[in-house]
Amino acid sequence: MLPVLVAAATALVAYLLTRHLQRTTAPPPPGPPCRPLLGLDPKLIPPSAPWKRFAEWGTKYGPVSSFHILGQRSIVINSFAAAGELLNKRASVYSERPLRQMLDVVMDRGSAVFNVTASDERHKVYRRILHGTLNQRSVASFHPMLEQESRAFVKRLANDVGPQKFEEHVRHNVISVIMRIAFGYSMQEGDTFVAGIQNAVRLSSLGATPGRWLVDYLPILRFVPSWFPGAEFKRLGWEWKKVIDDQLYRPFQWTKDRVAEGKAEQSFTATQLHENAHLPEHWLVKCAAAIYIGGADTTASAMICFFLAMSLYPDVQQKAQAEVDAITGGERLPTCKDIPQLKYLRRVMQEVLRWGTVVPLAIPHAALRDDEYNGYRIEKGATIFPNLWGMFHDPEVYPSPDTFDPDRFAPEAENAGVSPPPDPLDWAFGFGKRICPGLHFAQTSLFLNMASVLSVFDISKERDSTGAELEPNFEFTTGITSTATAFGCTVKPRSPESLSLIA
């Protein structure tokens, strides 16, 4: 192993020196001090909520800051103006993805929908397929299914309302909706398809964990034979690749069999097998898997944050309930057709996505070529981190950012002539050519579930044996997605009449 490491170190030094000599006169964006060649001390990036440290750097160094580790430059964007200019207006430059050796090369996930390079022909094909099938018009065709699943969700809540059981029901609802949209498959208790996909997501997350794999920093190690001492990462990567491929293919094959039998329900996969049968099948498998991978944790995290906010801010809850009741008359559950009339509840959803910031650092982008912004050089291959948490919690943009206040999004006419701040719905689902293709489904499902829950239940803090309120004990988790850690709240029917709505 020693000769390999010596060769790798020599190659790394040569690479760093070459990069240094090739730099133009324009400096990189400012940032924390970096050591010669080695770059930033990784200890300066906390393992928990690194987006908060990035936001501090934004305050100190400006809306676009940077650092490097072993020559790999990272750019952190902390303002809407910079994000809009670079990631939206210059999308042709910044729609690339950074290459992760363990995940993309060793585990062969580089061709997955969220990882594929912008220059790969599959990127355009994936976008055409997903955006063409998951657009707003398609969402309308799924409204009856979404309403059916929302009713089933509130029924489960009514039948099982333990202090922390709501999270289990939230996740059940989200996964059930996704499996029906993606595969036309109705989820069962102890479902092996769902367990398999969740395991595939877990293994992919392990492969993408920053700092875990030496090969991510010394790419030459990917050429080490798998039998060589110290090459366990290659053996693991190949094993995980086989598991992921198998577990993502199984529900696809299930739908394919139903299509052949003429028994398939409406779904993304059934549509693609009819309209894009000429494409390689594994492309369609990856597109179907992307619906689950992109929507399961994010939508569930937002809904969990909604429960937390309602328990902490009862005045907001009562105002939203009054609006829902005014539309339904308290005589039925809300439907998708009611959504445009629920103006205040839309603000609640905007504030949920801002306050809870489900994907704090978005999904990293990369620069396709050298570029300049405000006199600073952004080099080709630099990793771009859009710090959504920092943008959504900037007190200059959102006063009192830690307070849950939907009225901050009230129209100017209702808000003493003050223009509302940037709409989280315009930013929370990605940027440019990498915007989430399932955003219309996610927004509709989230909106409908919030309205349905509010029409039937009151959500409040737990109480102790004396009747005193207990403040929920929670933090927000660290990961690609972030959600509130387990907390207790009381979910109970508003009245016998409201409970009868789901009878």
SS3 (DSSP) at 218:
coil
Q: Which amino acid is at 327?
A: I
**What is the H or E stretch that residue 204 is in?**
helix 192-208
Q: Which string of DSSP letters, residue by residue, matches 319-383?
A: HHHHHHHHHHTTSS---GGGGGG-HHHHHHHHHHHHHH-SSTT-S-EE-SS-EEETTEEE-TT-E
- Predicted confidence at residue 230, as pLDDT, reads 81
Average pLDDT of the chain is 89
> For the chain, which residues make up each domain, given as ranges?
2-54+61-502
Question: Is 34 among the annotated ligand-binding positions?
Answer: no
The CA–CA distances, whole Å, from 435 to 104, 306, 362, 458 equal 20, 23, 10, 35
**Residues 141-151: b if buried by 16+ CB within 10 A, e if exposed:** ebeebbbebbb
Q: How far apart are CA 389 and CA 78, in angstroms?
A: 9
What is the Cα Rg of the chain in Å? Answer: 24
Q: Which residue in 308, 309, 325 sits closest to 495, CA to CA?
A: 325
- Dump strand ranges (E) for 78-222: none
Query: The dihedral of CA 465, 467, 473, 476: what is its sign?
Result: positive
- β-pairing, 72-77 vs 365-366, is unpaired
Query: The dihedral of CA 290, 291, 296, 300: what is its sign?
Result: positive
Q: Which amino acid is at 111?
A: S
Contacts of 145 (CB under 8 A, 6+ apart): 177, 180, 181, 266
Total count of residues recorded for the chain: 503
Token look-up 């801010």 returns 313
- β-pairing, 489-493 vs 457-461, is antiparallel
Which two three-digit tokens encode residue 112? 């997955």
**CB 117 within 8 Å of CB 465:** no
- Predicted confidence at residue 8, as pLDDT, reads 52
Q: How far apart are CA 283 and CA 278, in angstroms?
A: 11
Residue 329, Cβ neighbours under 10 Å: how many?
A: 7
Secondary structure percentages of the chain, helix, strand, coil, to 5: 55, 10, 35
Q: How far apart are CA 126 and CA 284, in angstroms?
A: 8
Which two three-digit tokens encode residue 292? 């689950």
Q: How far apart are CA 195 and CA 197, in angstroms?
A: 6
The DSSP call for residue 108 is -
Contacts of 76 (CB under 8 A, 6+ apart): 31, 54, 57, 58, 64, 65, 66, 67, 385, 387
Q: Is 191 exposed, middle or buried (0-12, 13-18, 19+ CB in 10 A)?
A: middle
**CB 233 within 8 Å of CB 214:** yes
Q: Which residues pair with 476 in a beta bridge?
A: 484
**What is the H or E stretch that residue 8 is in?**
helix 2-22
Q: Which CATH superfamily is domain 2-54+61-502 in?
A: Cytochrome P450 (1.10.630.10)
The CA–CA distances, whole Å, from 262 to 111, 188, 255 equal 31, 22, 10
- Predicted confidence at residue 24, as pLDDT, reads 52
Q: Is 246 exposed, middle or buried (0-12, 13-18, 19+ CB in 10 A)?
A: exposed
**CB 49 within 8 Å of CB 390:** no
Q: Which amino acid is at 262?
A: G
Q: Is 482 exposed, middle or buried (0-12, 13-18, 19+ CB in 10 A)?
A: buried
Phi, psi angle pair for 282, to nearest 5°: -70, -20
Torsion of CA 102, 103, 109, 110, to 10 degrees: -80
- Predicted confidence at residue 192, as pLDDT, reads 86
pLDDT tens per residue across span 240-289: 999 999 999 999 999 999 999 999 998 999 999 999 999 999 999 999 99
pLDDT by 10-residue block (mean), the chain, 503 residues: 53 54 75 92 88 96 94 94 97 93 92 91 93 86 94 91 78 92 88 86 83 82 85 91 92 95 93 93 94 88 96 97 96 96 97 96 93 96 95 97 96 76 96 92 96 96 84 85 86 91 84
- Predicted confidence at residue 417, as pLDDT, reads 73
Q: Which residue in 430, 459, 414, 171 sits closest to 313, CA to CA?
A: 459
The CA–CA distances, whole Å, from 129 to 110, 135, 276, 406 equal 18, 10, 9, 35
Q: How far apart are CA 376 and CA 66, in angstroms?
A: 10
